[in-house]
């Protein structure tokens, strides 16, 4: 998707424009469950910009990543690797003004998904170990 799309948090204090990927993915890991209070549905984006006075707050959830939310209303907004290029953020699907534009095509950490729910439709599924192996291959050893 080359078009820039817009979105915002619940209170509207944090608003973005972004160049999103074509599809949304779901992460079923235990950390995302706690962070979102549900399942984490998100879209990988480039060149994300936020309004200058957005009250963004970051929680450093691991050595390599942080989770960013609105300091006013608490909406979960994005996950980013701390060494990611400027503007590369994995934005919350539901923060987009038109979340239904994105098909949900993948599920990661499928081995941590609770047995009490499942997504309808066909998705590409990866276990946590498969995701970590893919990530290690991308960034190289260490």
Which residues of this chain interact with Zn ion, rule CB under 5 A?
9, 11, 13, 27, 29, 32, 70, 72-73
Our CB check for Zn ion shows the closer of 32 and 48 to be 32
Contact status, residue 123 vs residue 107, Cβ threshold 8 Å: yes
Minimum distance, C-beta of residue 98 to Zn ion, in the bound complex (Å):
19
Write the burial class of residue 7 (CB in 10 Å: 0-12 exposed, 13-18 middle, 19+ buried): buried
Minimum distance, C-beta of residue 10 to Zn ion, in the bound complex (Å):
5
Minimum distance, C-beta of residue 73 to Zn ion, in the bound complex (Å):
3
Residue 105 neighbours by CB under 8 Å, 6+ apart? 23, 24, 25, 123, 124
Round to whole Å and give the CA distance between 95 and 86.
20
Minimum distance, C-beta of residue 71 to Zn ion, in the bound complex (Å):
8
């Amino acid at each position: 998707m080359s078009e820039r799309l817009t979105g915002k948090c619940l209170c509207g204090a944090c608003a973005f424009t972004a160049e999103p990927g074509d599809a949304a993915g779901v992460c079923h890991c235990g950390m995302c469950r706690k962070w979102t209070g549900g399942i984490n549905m998100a879209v990988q984006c480039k060149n994300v910009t936020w309004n200058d006075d957005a009250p963004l707050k970051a929680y450093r959830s691991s050595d390599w990543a942080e989770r960013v939310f609105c300091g006013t209303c608490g909406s979960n907004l994005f996950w980013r690797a701390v060494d990611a290029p400027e503007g590369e953020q994995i934005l919350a699907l539901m923060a987009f003004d038109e979340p239904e534009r994105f098909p949900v095509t993948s599920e990661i950490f499928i081995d941590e998904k609770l047995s009490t729910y499942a997504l309808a439709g066909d998705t590409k599924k990866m276990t946590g170990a498969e995701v970590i192996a893919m990530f290690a291959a991308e960034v190289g050893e260490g």
